[in-house]
Structure 1
Amino acid sequence: MGKKNVSGWSTIIMLLTAAALFTGCSASAGSKPSAELHEKTMHWDKMPEMTIDLDKSYTAKFTTSMGDFTVKLYAEDSPITVNNFVFLAKQGFYDGLTFHRIMETFMIQGGDPKGNGTGTPGYSIPDELDTELKYEPGIVAMANTGKPNSGGSQFFISTGKDSENLNQMPNYTIFGKVTEGMDTVLAIAKTPVKETKPIEPVIIEKVVIVQS
């Protein structure tokens, strides 16, 4: 897609918001989080093999400490990313993790096993950016380190108009959209934060995958 001309101020906003989606690429795989952070021990050496059926539809039902919501997964547009998310969810990887980064008019970010922006499942997956999908409230996409093909387990859910700035540099694989419970997502987005970190934890209690 062609690049749009934007004002200097819009460019600054866009860069700042996009930076919030980067996972911590400087932390080594063996580094330990501080004592107050929750760390999952699940770890794999390579991304999962393709197991989803592309003739089927998939949804993810989230239960959180602030309510429930449902995400339609875009398996046809982003099969590798959806397969990865389905694999991790079925392993219980996301259960007990948090939304560790929140920017009310932009996004909520979760899926980090360390809870500090540096966690991964032990591997990375390739980008799937060649689609017609657009960033808008409700869209679910992979976070990354700022480098190509560096997504893993962290994802974000767009919550407001600021997310649409990402359409000017679409570097994050879109793999779903909230279809039910957007009020819960927006309530999470309103959580009080200190430098984008929630003052009180917002917990992903469970993610259940439904195939139809």
Structure 2
Amino acid sequence: MATNDRQAREARARLRTYQARQEVHARSVRRRRRDNVVAVIALVAVLALATAAQLLYFGGGPGSPEAEPSATPAPTATPQPVPSADLAADRTWVAALTLNDTTLSVELDGAAAPQAVSSTISLARSGFYDGLACHRLTTEGIFVLQCGDPNGDGTGGPGYSYGPIENAPEDGVYPAGTLAMARQPGAAESQGSQFFIVYEDTTLPADAAGGYTVIGRVTDGLDALRTEITDFGTADEVPDGAPVRPVTITSFVVE
């Protein structure tokens, strides 16, 4: 009888040990499943953020690297009047844009983008651009140098904003030498003084508002821009940041 009792106790002990091990195993399985779910959610979130960053590359820039090249802000409580689109006079304008000691010969297409070109001419002739920094350089996938912000951080403008988007390429391809206006993401009427220079062929995806207004092109000096400014990269060696070699608009003369 004593032997039978001992065997029964041992059997119950083995059963409890087995059940405990099964519970530990079940908890481990549940924990692994939970960890896997969390990892998948985190991966999806990272991919979503990366996609959003690409689409909004120029929301902070061309558009803004406001790809979009820092966004032009909405008008202040007392906005300045927007220059008349008639100023562009439906013709091509010749300009000299000097960055540091590098002069770019530029053509502005007043026929294709009358409102944006009129604004650019008005600001250039008033001396608005003189002394302003080019605050943003992108070096991976999107290759632009963004300029024209009086605040120097992508948040400034001329005291007015305007639209619509004009002369944006349907295929989203902006060839090297293109000059285009930065704007806020999804806001066609948010163009102001900020513009960007495409120094290598770049594709910029359109957003809800469309593409980016092309105002003209660099006809000479693009190689000097690369060797003197963009080839040095960004200050923190990131793909989207301030140029390592500070860039100032010395002058912007339109004829």
TM-score, normalised with respect to structure 2: 0.64
Size of the aligned set, in residue pairs, is: 188
Tell me the distance in 2 between the aligned counterparts of 1:107 and 1:74: 20
Q: Which runs of 5+ in 2 are unaligned?
A: 1-47
Corresponding residue number in structure 2 for 1:93: 128
Runs of at least 5 residues in structure 1 that lack an aligned partner in the other structure: 1-7, 31-42
Larger Rg: 2
Which residue of the partner structure matches residue 47 of structure 1? 82
Contact 1:104–1:160, Cα closer than 8 Å, also in 2: no
Counterpart of 2:164 in structure 1: which amino acid? D
2:149 match: 112
CA positional deviation for 1:132: 5.0
Residue 189 in structure 1 maps to residue 230 in structure 2: yes
Structure-2 residue corresponding to 1:80: 115
1:179 aligns with 2:224: no
Does 1:69 pair with 2:69?
Answer: no
- In the alignment, the residues of structure 1 paired with residue 110 and residue 252 of structure 2 have an alpha-carbon distance, to the nearest angstrom, of 17
Is the alpha carbon distance of 1:185 and 1:91 closer, same or farther for their aligned partners in structure 2, counting shifts above 3 Å? same
Contact 2:75–2:161 under 8 Å retained in 1: no
Structure 1 Cα separation of the partners of residues 231 and 160 of structure 2 = 32
Q: When you count helix as a share of all residues, which structure comes out higher?
A: 2
Cα separation, 2, equivalents of 1:186 and 1:118:
25
TM-score by length of 1: 0.76
Which residue of the other structure, out of 131, 135, 154, is the alignment partner of 2:174? 135
Paired AA for residue 106 in structure 2: V
**Partner of 2:137 in structure 1?**
102
Which whole-Å deviations, capped at 9, do the CAs of 1:124-156 have from their partners, x for residues lacking one? 011233555741211111001112210000000
1:208: which partner in 2?
A: 253
Deviation at 1:51, TM superposition (A): 2.2
CA RMSD after TM alignment:
2.9
